[in-house]
Amino acid sequence: MFHKEGFKIILVTLFIVIGVSLIAHYFVDILWLKKLIQIVAFLFLIAILQFFRNPKRITPKNDQHIIAPVDGKVVVIEEVFEKEYFKDKRLQVSIFMSPVNVHVTRYALGGKVTYSEYHPGKYLVAWHPKASEENERTTIVVDNPVFGEVLYRQIAGALAKRIVNYAKVGDTAVQGEDAGFIKFGSRVDVYLPLGTKINVQLNQTVKGGIDVIAEK
């Protein structure tokens, strides 16, 4: 139900909310103010629980498909020059996650992890054109029997302060399985071979582990 990366924050938040509610109950005499404080504290807890939710999703395994790695909105579909790993042109599909989206990162395809690197950086807004090069980010490459090597990049946004990446070189990536987490708003870029058929449009909302964003 909730992602393991959120357990500590959820527990701390729960204690804070209980503490604030008890203080308001015993030390605030104005009834409407007491209730307001308790309601705001409760809503804050709900927001934290909502952010770290991890809905169970069943992904049909298909090497012909690239599945959305995260929930969010498609903000980029374009041919670009990928500088870090391929050093050639690729088809980039970017999905932006707002704070209300599920922030679990899932493997978009199955295969062998051949590259996994963390890069510290800035915290520009996730839709900034330079975010993929200057923000805190991780770059992961999965070698798939149909698509060959496909790169995806977790990018921290203005609010995101920690990227969690579970992919290690040599690991077997299982399509749709948990590959990491980005806390508090972010973006994921997927770099596909030129000529890949794209199944989504700009501003389309997608669900991670469910929607097919590209296929052979």
Residue 59 confidence (pLDDT): 93
Tell me the one-letter amino acid at 66.
Answer: I
How does pLDDT run across 171-182, given as a tens digit for each residue?
999 999 999 988
Q: Which of the residues 21, 94, 132, 186 is marked catalytic?
A: 186
Those residues whose C-beta lies under 8 Å from the C-beta of residue 4, and which sit 6 or more positions away, are none
Residue 159 confidence (pLDDT): 61
**More confident call, 7 vs 148:** 148
Choose among 108, 97, 103: nearest CA to 3: 103
Q: In angstroms, rounded to a whole number, what is the distance separating the alpha carbons of residues 171 and 189?
A: 20
Q: Is 132 tagged catalytic? A: no
For residue 192, what is the enclosing H or E element? Answer: strand 186-192
Look at residue 6 and tell me whether its pLDDT is greater than 80. no
Length of the chain: 216
**Residue 196 corresponds to which tokens in the numbers above?**
């890949």
Least confident stretch, 119-123, 170-174, 181-185: 181-185
